Amino acid sequence: MPFTIRENIPLRDLTTFRIGGPARFFCEVYTEGDLIEAVSFAQKKCAGRFFVLGGGSNVLVSDAGFGGLVICMKIKGIIFSDENSWKNGITTVGAGEEWDSFVKKTIEDGYGGLENLSLIPGTVGAAPVQNIGAYGTEVAAAIFSVRAYDTETGTWKLFKKDECEFKYRDSFFKKTKNSSGQARYIITEVSFTLSKGAKPNISYKDIHDYFEKKGTTEPSLVQVREAVISIRKVKLPDIAVVGTAGSFFKNPIIKVEDFEALKKRYPDLPGFSEKTNPGFIKVPLAWIIDTICGYRGISQGNVGTYKNQALVLVNNGNATFLDVTIFASEITAKVKEMTGIDIEPEVQFLV
């Protein structure tokens, strides 16, 4: 497909929130050559302003749209390390492949490691940026390397896993900007190490309870995928029906002493410590928004919190960027008032 730049393209239906105005310039990139052309265009015509759009599942676009170039990532392909088998257990995937189709394929082929990450919307290229995670598994655990274009120097770099600086829903790619203030690295390929015969991780409460109810002690990868899909369908809205970007805020990670002080006021407050982050506790924000603030399943005009998961904001039909940001600010202020915790959006704002 020839590389083309188009103008004034509506972004609303390219995002799962289904909110926002047009992109001043827009292109789809199918090859690494297209990507180089796209970045060069943004540098010449838009003062370097670009935004890489994958599945549009974690973005809120402003009502006025975006004045730069939106680069829609379409680089496809799943390349096995050996033509006939996954000999070394490493497979390289184009950033524009749909995440869940890839996960489904690994499971069908008998490879474990990604089954708990079933049904997460978005693309393969976005997975390392956010270090997507669910049900006790983070994508970082399965990543071998990441190939990315450096928009600062116009060169290519292969990041080994250790260089990706993966943390809870965070990575080197998420925080590293170029001199125009845009994401410095654009991911084009991700390589994974997956293994046959690895035992699925079913320790997370929801999955454990699911199999306990069924009396299954050693579920297959297919069964774990089915469990995750079933649990997610109950708790999270169907993005084909409801406009949403999933979890709108990040779960706060607070000091142990602040957590203990809060526990005195709210004895049932859950909290999880992480070996890699001693002295800090991750607190489920959905619990705070629901139980302490009373905001689960409420609507304010066009925007609301989802009935089964208070961390998820939903577009009730015609929500605008302004509706969402006003509602989100109200929740942020309420959480601060009730707990003293400063919360931050997980969703990226495109303004």
Interatomic CA distance for residues 192 and 170, integer angstroms: 18
Shortest reach from residue 274's CB to ligand NAP, in Å: 7
Helix ranges, 8-56 (H): 32-45
Q: Which stretch binds ligand NAP (CB under 6 A): 72-80, 202-210, 213-221, 321-329?
A: 202-210
Catalytic (active site) residue 40: no
CA-closest candidate to residue 248, choices 286, 204, 206, 298 = 286
By the rule CB under 6 A, 171 interacts with ligand NAP: no
Cβ count near 44 (within 10 Å) = 9
By the rule CB under 6 A, 284 interacts with ligand NAP: yes
The two three-digit tokens of residue 200, written as one number: 């699925």
Q: Which of 106, 247, 315, 325 binds ligand NAP (CB under 6 A)?
A: 247
Nearer to ligand NAP (CB atom), residue 155 or residue 276: 276
Which residues 92-121 are close enough to bind ligand NAP by CB under 6 A?
A: none
State the amino acid at position 56 in one-letter form.
Answer: G
**Would residue 343 be called left, alpha or beta, if left means φ above 0 and alpha means ψ between -120 and 50 degrees?**
beta
Any residues with CB less than 8 A from the CB of 134 and at least 6 apart, and which? 116, 117, 120, 228, 232
Q: Which stretch binds ligand NAP (CB under 6 A): 177-185, 198-206, 216-224, 324-332?
A: 198-206
Q: Which stretch binds ligand NAP (CB under 6 A): 71-79, 90-98, 201-209, 256-264?
A: 201-209
Nearer to ligand NAP (CB atom), residue 274 or residue 330: 274
Q: Which of 272, 299, 317, 326 binds ligand NAP (CB under 6 A)?
A: 272
Task: Catalogue the E-assigned strands of the chain.
Answer: 6-10, 22-29, 50-53, 59-61, 66-73, 78-80, 90-94, 133-134, 137-138, 143-150, 155-160, 185-193, 243-247, 253-255, 272-273, 280-282, 299-300, 303-306, 309-315, 348-350
Shortest reach from residue 311's CB to ligand NAP, in Å: 6
Catalytic residue among 37, 165, 226, 346: 346
Nearer to ligand NAP (CB atom), residue 163 or residue 272: 272
Shortest reach from residue 40's CB to ligand NAP, in Å: 32
Helix ranges, the chain (H): 32-45, 99-108, 126-130, 172-175, 205-214, 221-235, 256-265, 285-287, 321-339
State the amino acid at position 104 in one-letter form.
Answer: K
Place of tokens 């929740």: 331
Query: 118-137 mask for ligand NAP (x: CB under 6 A)?
Result: --------------xxxx--
Catalytic (active site) residue 225: no
Size of the site for ligand NAP (CB under 6 A): 16
Catalytic (active site) residue 247: yes
Shortest reach from residue 298's CB to ligand NAP, in Å: 17
Q: Which of 286, 288, 303, 328 binds ligand NAP (CB under 6 A)?
A: 286
What b/e sequence results for 238-270 when a residue is b if at least 16 CB atoms lie within 10 Å of its CB, and e otherwise? ebeebbbbbbbbbbbbbeeebbeebeeeeeebe
Which residues 3-62 are close enough to bind ligand NAP by CB under 6 A?
A: none
Nearer to ligand NAP (CB atom), residue 209 or residue 257: 209
The two three-digit tokens of residue 87, written as one number: 């000999």
Q: Which of 21, 125, 200, 246 binds ligand NAP (CB under 6 A)?
A: 246
Catalytic positions are: 169, 247, 346
Interface ranges with ligand NAP (CB under 6 A): 132-135, 204-206, 235, 246-247, 251, 272, 282, 284, 286, 309
